[in-house]
Chains A and B, each alone.
Chain A
């Protein structure tokens, strides 16, 4: 009996592609024979824009890369620029940066696990729980910097303004609240029979494949590689905080979910310690707006989705001669085609959801 290959276009307008991703799937029955991801629908050529802006002017554009974790993008760019210009932020500014970056990591992970659950058919409840908790973080950010999504809070050499009065109590209340509500997620998902059946042993990413494809972040740690830049190449003051690098064992979709859940707890630990030891001083520093950029610098930071790198090359003028963004989702998505070959089409959605990509930073 002969069979016919069926080509299915998944996306670019599809609820579970997390943006505008277009997957061309070649099917034999329900089994995926070949997968051809097409990206670029959100390409804004941010790297070309960067060549026509000074470093200070470019800061708001980094918010638009990974818009779920804008603070972390600000941080990565800020550290790269400061490395090129040999600027060091004051201790209080560094602590503030740690606090906002970790708060944003919690918000990003909450969204990641809940949209993943939604992809698996847990239609509303986990997402509503996550949005309820994320709203509290967003309101804290609103009070700190006046924005809810694209924060532009960091500045070269510091931050744009100090913490408003009373915000530290509000953050402490949030930590207590989040610790109380995390068991709700565990009740809903972690031991849920349907959730486990849909995600355990599905989309196993072996350690070697992950490294070979440049996968980083929670996806790499879920495959059993204990590599976290906050621990292994500490930037800011991360070496002063006590936290664990969370790893998974099997590298399947459930592990990628579990690693994110446990990383939320570690992030809460870091925020608590940073608030407790917040040094006195002024985090707002007056730094020149125009610099002569000489030489080149590469800096990478641990984003919620993996290692975000900024490569800045200067030619002596005020504008960067070349600015490259190494985005974690780009590499994390490039492994997808290898992973889902031979799987059922229903599991492709599961694997894609568990990788937690953001198209804004893939297409740039």
Chain B
């Protein structure tokens, strides 16, 4: 099963859920996150490893980016979920992967995305009393200005 077949199986199994797709990436609606990942993990795709969870701040929206990986088929699939800035909530994957625990805490710490159903939604890298989420584009870095690139 190569990456095209995996994406095709997703499209057939979950009609109307995949908003956008390209060669190795799909974009999902938020509601479909849990069933799609469960299918990816336990279905024929056998994407048993959650390789990484991260996010990209697009100013009006925040993209949560998941990388899942299948040892059996030797593929890595990128899954994206786009969240509006005023509602940064997405279902947690801790019920499927232990790896999601720390990775989602990191995204919460740095981006302020809340993962619903996470057992321990605390900051991980920054101190508990820190304010703001450093990797957001509107985060003020005192005295630090981008260096001009010649």
Binding site for B on A (CB under 8 A): 39-40, 43, 45, 47-48, 52-54, 57, 209, 211-214, 225, 227, 232-233, 289-290, 298, 300, 307, 309, 311, 313, 318-319, 321-322, 324, 326, 330-331, 334-335, 338, 363-364
Interface residues of B in 96-148 (CB under 8 A from A): 97-99, 101-103, 106, 110, 123-127, 134-135, 139, 141, 144, 146-147
- Report yes or no: A324 in contact with B74, Cβ–Cβ below 8 A: no
Give chain B residues whose Cβ lies under 8 Å from the Cβ of A54.
Answer: 149
Chain A, residue nearest B139 (CB): A48
A47 CA to B126 CA, complexed, in Å: 14
- Number of residue pairs A-B, CB distance < 8 angstroms: 92
- Report yes or no: A290 in contact with B150, Cβ–Cβ below 8 A: yes
- Report yes or no: B147 in contact with A53, Cβ–Cβ below 8 A: yes
Given contacts A213-B98, A319-B146, is CB(A232)–CB(B51) below 8 Å? no
A209 CA to B101 CA, complexed, in Å: 14
Chain A, residue nearest B99 (CB): A214
Chain B, residue nearest A362 (CB): B125
A338 CA to B125 CA, complexed, in Å: 20
- Report yes or no: A48 in contact with B127, Cβ–Cβ below 8 A: no
The verdict on B48 contacting chain A, using a C-beta distance below 8 Å, is yes
Give chain A residues whose Cβ lies under 8 Å from the Cβ of B141.
Answer: 48
Give chain A residues whose Cβ lies under 8 Å from the Cβ of B125.
Answer: 39-40, 43, 363-364
A45 CA to B132 CA, complexed, in Å: 14
Give chain A residues whose Cβ lies under 8 Å from the Cβ of B65.
Answer: 311, 324
Chain A, residue nearest B54 (CB): A324
Tell me the minimal C-beta distance from B2 to chain A in angstroms. 13
Given contacts A54-B149, A318-B149, is CB(A212)–CB(B52) below 8 Å? no
